Amino acid sequence: MRKPEDELAQLQQASLLRSIPDEEASLINFASNDYLGLARHPGIAEAWTDAIQRYGNGSTASRLICGTSPAHRELESTLAEAKGTEAAISFATGYSTSVGILTSLLQKGDTVILDKLCHASLIDGARMSGATIRVFPHNHLPKLRTLLTSTADKASSDSRTLVVTESIFSMDGDAAPLKEISDLCKEYQALLMVDEAHGLGILGPTGMGLAEKLGLQGAIDFHMGTLGKAAGVGGGYLAAKQIWVDLFINRARSFIYSTAPPPAQAAASAEAIRIIRSQEGAQLRQRLWQNISTLQDALQLPKQPGSAIIPWMIGESKEALQLSKILRDLGMRVPAIRYPTVPRKTARLRITLSAAHNPSEISELAKTLIDRSQ
């Protein structure tokens, strides 16, 4: 039997050993996905505490037993309205959303086609579904067309084909060619699921993501996202037609067999969505984009539209860890991202910006990166 200490030693040798970092409030945080600074918004905190007074601390059961509160209903109606869909369903986490939805939609005989850089939760959900998995190189439309053609040639009248992509990719910060992907799905009668985890809050006239920015909300079958990034709270969601949501309620095991998230979390998330869609949300987005532009200019990076994620490429895991430690010693939290989160030899620092950062903090980060790269 292999020993866990041997496995850990191998990870250590490869500079791939991970541990849970200690929280240090004094560090300037360039690791968070709190793109709008809503995690400490007083209005969201008030919605949370008010809901505790109304509904108590926990939901006490799964949604289908007695765990559904008016706060859960309000969150889902708020999401459906914001996304322009008939209905929505919320989950405890983004991971459970991915797994629950994909295993509900797909079964043996179906085909799921994923972008190579899709999040691990989407890959896991696809594997667990039993469907045939096909992968196309990142944002490679010709290969996606080839896969859709071959899938259509083999499909039965009863099988489903689902294309899955992220709107903004979590490690590279680039956007999917969503209009072209949507057109291909329509041409081949495939369903389309878009993970807006890193698009929600920062893109679109009301912050509802890349699909809203491109005017494609009505062309997406399944709008997925998380509420623990730009929304600043926690949980995940899927917005779609009512008939699909009814299916998920009956088949998504991560929904059926999980205790419901606390009502206070649902209430706080609903308030976060309202803020994102408000004038205040628009002002926070404007501040965020100014911060993004400031760092891109300081680092002489190309202006990449659509993302608050800026990868600082290094290559080797050991060197990425060393630079991350230097920044930490200087008072900045910037995580080193390594294999298997990213491909081998593509280790990087993953910089995320927020509307809460100030120009001096961004300038300090940029100066340190430039000085250490010379």
Q: List the catalytic residues.
A: 33, 119, 166, 170, 195, 198, 229
What is the token pair recorded at 293? 């532009």
The distance of Cα 92 from the centroid of its chain, to the nearest Å, equals 14
Nearest Cα residue to 254 out of 92, 61, 129: 92
What is the token pair recorded at 140? 């490679």
**Alpha carbon distance 183, 57 (integer Å):** 45
**Alpha carbon distance 20, 33 (integer Å):** 17
Please name the amino acid found at residue 92: A
Nearest Cα residue to 207 out of 199, 215, 217: 199
Nearest Cα residue to 258 out of 64, 76, 58: 64
Please name the amino acid found at residue 204: G
Pairing, β 28-29 against β 332-333: parallel
Give the H/E segment covering residue 275: helix 263-277
Pairing, β 161-166 against β 336-337: unpaired
Q: Which residues, in sequence order, are bridge partners of residue 336?
A: 349
SS3 state of residue 110: strand
Q: Are 241 and 47 in contact (CB under 8 A)?
A: no
SS3 state of residue 299: coil
